[in-house]
Amino acid sequence: MKFCQWLSARERRNYRIPTEAEWECAAKGNDERKYPWGNHDGRGDLANFADKNTVFAWSDPEIDDGYPESSPVGAFPLGASPFGLEDMAGNVWEWCLDYYALYRPGEKTNPRGPTNGAQRVHRGGSWKSRFRSLRTTVRSSNAPTFSCNDLGFRIVCECD
């Protein structure tokens, strides 16, 4: 949030992290795909996740994505979303603007989560995640002050 404030002041534009609904739309597009790239499961050329290069009990020993930890941005161009956004799944979880709450019935077009709470949502899975955690609908959360080597963010520039 502080980076977005700094960048907004520097560039004289409004930068922020995406809402959870914006993040999900950017990841899966309009066709309800399972992953940003479509519905293909278990391929190491689409995203960075817990594969044979990692040492977790849940690592997939049959797949090699080439990285034991985080990968360079854009290392998996075949895993891009329908909008051409890369790294929406795997590599690092991404913070969202919304605070965490269970989904509630109601408006499904760009719904907003709570504006306050104890935990913020993060989406996308990471290099520590099982492949199934890379699905566009998977969500997690943590305290806004939490940091880890598999958690990051992307930013949105609000256009005029």
pLDDT tens for 53-99 read 999 999 999 999 999 999 999 999 999 999 999 999 999 999 999 99
**Band of the pLDDT at 110, cuts 50, 70, 90?**
low
pLDDT score recorded for residue 46: 95
What confidence tier does 107 reach under pLDDT thresholds 50, 70, 90? low
Query: 128, 56 in Cβ contact below 8 A?
Result: yes
pTM of the model: 0.91
> So what's the pLDDT on residue 114?
79
Q: Each residue of 19-53: pLDDT tens digit?
A: 999 999 999 998 889 999 999 988 999 999 999 99
Task: Give tens-digit pLDDT for 6-18.
Answer: 999 999 999 999 9
Residue 33: burial class (beta carbons within 10 Å; 0-12, 13-18, 19+): middle
Q: What is the C-alpha to C-alpha distance for residues 78 and 120, in angstroms, rounded to an integer? A: 29
Q: Identify any residues that bridge with 120 across adjacent strands, giving them in sequence order.
A: 99, 142
